[in-house]
Structure 1
Amino acid sequence: MTTIDPGTLMGPLWTLLAYIGLGWLAARRLAVDPRPVATLLIYLVAPLTFFRGLIQGGPTPAYLLLTAALFAVASLIAVIVHRLAKHGFAPHESALLAFSSGTGNTGYFGLPVALVLLPPQGVTLYLFCVLGVTLYEFTVGFYLSARGQFSVHQSLVKIARLPLVYAFLAALLVSGLGLQVPDAVMRGMAAFPATYTLLGMMIIGMTLGRVSVREFDLRFIGACVAIRYGLWPLLSLAAVLGLQAVFPLSGELALALLLIGVVPMAANVVVVAMELGIAPEKGALAVLITTLAAPLLIPLYLTLMMRAVGL
């Protein structure tokens, strides 16, 4: 397989855009406040979604190594961008840019694409990579975002209150001890992944419903696009080529890593910005632009990158 059909991405794209449109209508016509929705996502929906996913995936040392590697890469990128951005952007803008630089829409957008492109084993590998990015979002990424508005102590207190880290540790404990989560509980949590996607994308629309023309910051959006569609594809390609040079790398893992590098900006950029009050309108515009560009850029990127790594 050396080409990606753009039609593969149209289903996920139109679904996500429809959710954004629903959010816009909710804000403009129903005056829905997105802040409580962001709080609900961060403190309830996201932790239960990833607890369920981790339990179902059956974590192994090899899978968790992938999680740790993606967490480390995302954190390193964000720290470097934060140091550089402080010299050219306002504190809240540099904090938001740093957060967005370490993550992407690996879940809402990337997962439906992974389900089409990858076999079940590859999807599992992809999910554990996504878990590393998500852990970054709610630890290092959240801290860097909070530092644009709060002191070090206040930022650490906010991280300590985030339940996703505890959900991750609880899932590891349950799996490590061989405990069985009752089927009724797992069935009850089955609704959370879809809820996570729906509310996460609707928040973008709710935020866009409040955006005025003056919120369009070409310099900020340009930096976001350059990192997401310039830096990340190059890093993912270099990672795959480097790993192939050291030991045999399965095609499923190679494609999973490449996909991590080409997804659009994360919707959680808006969720976290909304929770912390750091320029959510600018974040929403940048997320929307990179999402609209996805069906044009991702097939091209993946086709060229797959040829480069011999897939």
Structure 2
Amino acid sequence: MELSPGALMGPLLMLLSFVGLGFIAAQRLKIDPRPIATLLVYLIAPLTIFRALMNGGPTPQYLVLTLALFILVSLLSLLVHRLTRHRFGPQEGALLAFSSGTGNTGYFGLPVALILLPPEGVTLYLFCMLGINLYEFTVGFYLSARGHFSIRQSLIKISRLPLIYAFLFALLLSALNVSLPPALASSLDVFPATYTLLGMMIIGMTLSQVTLAAWDTRFIAACVGLRYLVWPAATFTAVLLLQMLMPVPAELAMAILLLGVVPMASNVVVVAMELGIQPQKGALAVLVTTLLAPLLIPFYLGIMLRATGLG
């Protein structure tokens, strides 16, 4: 299974065009990105996750994947937070810890997954991605808030995040075998595209406010290292360990490997904007890792697929 750089150009150009639209909107229309970040966190993201769960039909096996990814990325972010909190400022350290546990698994990774994986593999990828999304709005949000707020204030902010309740409500409805009315289900179809569009546009909006003073070589180098050194090594090791312990379906192994090579998450900027913790630095780091993606993804996947016997 090979992935050429040309296969990534469509998704990459689409994402970069959204970033460009956000930049133009902020420059020419003077749009403030902060209300959009709030809209994403408190409305669009919860409804997007709720729709994915209701459409995916969560089974115990799928939810084990979600839980496993949630635990793994939470542990990784806590470790990064512990190792870097004294080497960076409070806000930079919090943002770095948050970004270490997540990646652009949705906006960028999902189009690539649709190219590489069969339908069953895409479903496995989505439930792995869900565990990372839950991390973003629980443990990750808490670590980010701790860079600016007290423990009590951070926990209060998490308790007000509707994504947690949307996730639990979807699980309850699925356990009760309750299906959404067709009209309601179809009305929710607009949210994934809206989530992608606004999530990428907000990077451009933030970049429109960036000055040279926002460039932090040490911070961006740390973000790139975490995203393109630590994550590929972690997912590659996880697949090798699983293959030693049990038969691993090829589509599951491929889904896990893909999680490790996507760029930084756009939600880094969304959360940084919502909490007021260095969104300009976050936007620059996200842009750098996204531009590196079409070069590094085929390189990493080619090596890892051959090493795991999937190539």
Aligned to 2:147: 148
Q: Which blocks of at least 5 consecutive residues in structure 2 are unaligned?
A: none
Q: In structure 2, what residue type is equivalent to 1:168?
A: F
Deviation at 1:214, TM superposition (A): 1.0
Q: Distance in 2 between matches of 1:72 and 1:9?
A: 30
Aligned to 1:267: 266
Aligned to 2:248: 249
Superposed counterparts of 1:1-311, under 5 Å: 1=1, 3-311=2-310
Q: Distance in 1 between matches of 2:31 and 2:42?
A: 19
Q: TM-score, normalised on structure 1?
A: 0.99
Q: Distance in 1 between matches of 2:301 and 2:102?
A: 18
| Secondary structure at the counterpart of residue 262 of structure 1 | coil
Q: Check conservation: 2:26, 2:208, Cα contact below 8 A.
A: yes
Q: Check conservation: 2:103, 2:259, Cα contact below 8 A.
A: yes
Q: Distance in 1 between matches of 2:54 and 2:118?
A: 20
**Cα distance per residue 1:7-27 (max 9 Å; x no partner):** 111111000000000000011
Q: Distance in 2 between matches of 1:266 and 1:257?
A: 16
Q: TM-score, normalised on structure 2?
A: 0.99
Q: In structure 1, what residue type is equivalent to 2:134?
A: L
Q: Distance in 2 between matches of 1:185 and 1:85?
A: 45
Q: Distance in 2 between matches of 1:245 and 1:58?
A: 30
Runs (4+) off by over 3 Å: none
**Cα distance per residue 1:285-309 (max 9 Å; x no partner):** 0000000000000001001000010
**Cα distance per residue 1:236-291 (max 9 Å; x no partner):** 00000000000000000000000000000000000000000000000000000000
Percent sequence identity over aligned pairs? 67
| Secondary structure at the counterpart of residue 247 of structure 2 | coil
Q: Check conservation: 2:54, 2:179, Cα contact below 8 A.
A: no
Deviation at 1:157, TM superposition (A): 0.3
- Root-mean-square deviation (CA, aligned residues, Å) is 0.4
Q: Distance in 2 between matches of 1:32 and 1:42?
A: 18
Q: In structure 2, what residue type is equivalent to 1:13?
A: L
Q: Distance in 2 between matches of 1:220 and 1:131?
A: 27
Deviation at 1:190, TM superposition (A): 0.3
